[in-house]
Amino acid sequence: MKEAVLNISAYLFVALDELPTLRERCLDEARARRLLGTILLANEGINLFLAGDADAVRSFVQWLRQDVPLAALTPKESWSASQPFRKMLVKIKREIIRMDQPAIQPHQARAPAVSAATVKRWLDAGHDDEGREVVTLDTRNAFEVDYGKFANAIDWRIQRFGEFPVAAREHLDALRGKTVVSYCTGGIRCEKAAIYLRELGLEQVYQLDGGILKYFEEVGQAHYEGGCFVFDARESLGADLQPVGRG
């Protein structure tokens, strides 16, 4: 069956205001294009998951980018044979990903990021470019990790992202002296996680730029076991960005 539905995910930490007005505009523009999915808005930025006709999805992104604060929005794309969402929702939240740490403000200063190609090279070698041991840190919820993860990744079995700060403080000593690559589905959680770990005093901490989905797109399966859970009807994607279910 031809895969006719374009799926995108994207986030951007950027200062936003007049959220009720932006919410209504996003909802009107998405509905006009017959798109389905979810858009989260907060003063710290935007997080979205949308699906529909390819031209319609891309024109919506182009419309969003006309708003100067959102000009840098860069979606990740994948395809499906059917629409994975049932509704079109636009919600205003306190945070686009809840961490309950007001001091962590990625819209003011991004976490250092490392590309998929660099992470693969480091994992191939078993160390970073300075010879330091590299560890991958999964910042997702435990049930997501069970669908797939990087080989030998650190998994603190958190049930929600709000538990990450406590887990980080409890396990901080085990990360000292190592290069830590935090990762998640698309980048939003691991960016906040990397900033938080640096605030705790770890110097060599990076987020995987674009998360697992970008890694799949640019590198493939290397060093990754299983699939990547996604919050829609496809459930989990493989390295080819096709649905695979539970691994």
Q: Which of 121, 124, 118, 144 is nearest to 207 (CA)?
A: 118
Q: Which residues contact 201 (CB under 8 A, 6 or more apart)?
A: 172
φ, ψ (nearest 5 deg) of residue 213: -60, -40
Kindly state the tokens that stand for 72. Answer: 């840098």
Measured between alpha carbons, how far is 173 from 197 in angstroms, rounded to an integer?
A: 11
91, 49 in Cβ contact below 8 A? no
- Which residues does the annotation mark as catalytic? 184
Buried-state track 115-143, b at ≥16 Cβ within 10 A, e below 16: bbebbbbbbeeeebeeeeebbbbbbbbee
CB atoms within 10 A of CB 240: 12
